Amino acid sequence: MANIVQFENVGLRYGVGEETLCDVSFTLRSGQFYFLTGASGAGKTSLLRLLYLSQRPSRGIIRLFGEDAVILPRGRLPGFRRRIGVVFQDFRLIPHLSAADNIALPLRVAGMAESEIARAVREMLNWIGLAERAGARPATLSGGEQQRVAIARAVIARPELLVADEPTGNVDPAMAERLLHLFQSLHRLGTTVVMATHDWHLIERVPGAHHLHLEHGRLVDPDPPMPPPAEARASTIVRSGL
């Protein structure tokens, strides 16, 4: 199984002062499902920003899709980003586009035929329970509805890597469960999933998932540890330096 992401002694400092992320080392294997936990302010979003290349580290090595992501020339960033689906913690929907057009965006960028896009978007809107709101602008949707549109946009093009920052933070437990199924379906199709969450119950619901836990910007063993699945333990995250 190939490594899709590798962090070696990565540090991130915003401006001056202490490092927000310190000596972060881990490997993500292609096709696996990872949860990222940690208290508010522990550095989850910061770590994910490094993963989806919106932030460069202050030190250390990051390899993404087998290439050195730290020295990647700017011109190659869009090509890399197209391989990554991102659910931002603050959604970042495009305000002047409808829910349907926001969701369609990655497919349009990929050059898919409009008839196929319409079918895929309709299916996705049904799945997230927003078929009736296809034409709505983001500002007219509730926080949870916006979050669902953001998730649909991130998964619709079946990215190689899905990075989701607290994607169930604004929805009720039943919808959280439904969205988790969506992520699991994508995962079954081969996508590597990295999901930051505060909801440890979700973790128990994905057999074989791996768990990264941050404390004050450092990766530590989760406590309590994840419930067994023997197979998951056997292929546990390779975390150098721990």
Which residues are near ligand ATP by CB under 6 A?
A: 14, 20, 38, 40-46, 89
44 or 148: CB nearest Mg ion = 44
Tokens 């056997």 belong to: 234
Q: For residue 178, which phi and psi values (nearest 5 degrees)? A: -65, -40
Amino acid (one-letter) located at 109 = V
**Any idea how long the chain is?**
242
Check if the beta carbon of residue 120 is closer than 8 Å to that of residue 107.
yes
> What is the nearest approach in angstroms of ligand ATP to the Cβ of residue 21?
8
44 or 133: CB nearest ligand ATP = 44
> What is the nearest approach in angstroms of ligand ATP to the Cβ of residue 97?
26
25 or 89: CB nearest ligand ATP = 89
Check if the beta carbon of residue 47 is closer than 8 Å to that of residue 19.
no
Query: Which partner, Mg ion, ligand ATP, none, binds residue 40 by CB below 5 to 8 Å per kind?
Result: ligand ATP
8 or 215: CB nearest Mg ion = 215
Whether omega before 224 lies within 30 degrees of 0, making that bond cis, reads yes
Half-sphere exposure of 218 (CA within 13 A, CB side): 9
> What is the nearest approach in angstroms of Mg ion to the Cβ of residue 23?
20
Tokens 């915003």 belong to: 14
Binding to Mg ion (CB under 5 A) within 109-148 occurs at none
Of the candidates 174, 216, 214, 182, which has an alpha carbon nearest to the alpha carbon of residue 197? 214
Query: Which partner, Mg ion, ligand ATP, none, binds residue 37 by CB below 5 to 8 Å per kind?
Result: none
CA distance 1 to 220: 24
Query: Which partner, Mg ion, ligand ATP, none, binds residue 115 by CB below 5 to 8 Å per kind?
Result: none
Question: Is 102 one of the binding residues for Mg ion (CB under 5 A)?
Answer: no
Question: Is 45 one of the binding residues for Mg ion (CB under 5 A)?
Answer: yes
45 or 170: CB nearest Mg ion = 45
Question: Is 6 one of the binding residues for Mg ion (CB under 5 A)?
Answer: no
Question: Do β-strands 218-220 and 210-215 pair in parallel, antiparallel, or remain unpaired?
Answer: antiparallel
Query: Which partner, ligand ATP, Mg ion, none, binds residue 90 by CB below 5 to 8 Å per kind?
Result: none
Whether omega before 167 lies within 30 degrees of 0, making that bond cis, reads no
Q: Please give the residue ranges that form the binding site for Mg ion (CB under 5 A).
A: 44-45, 89
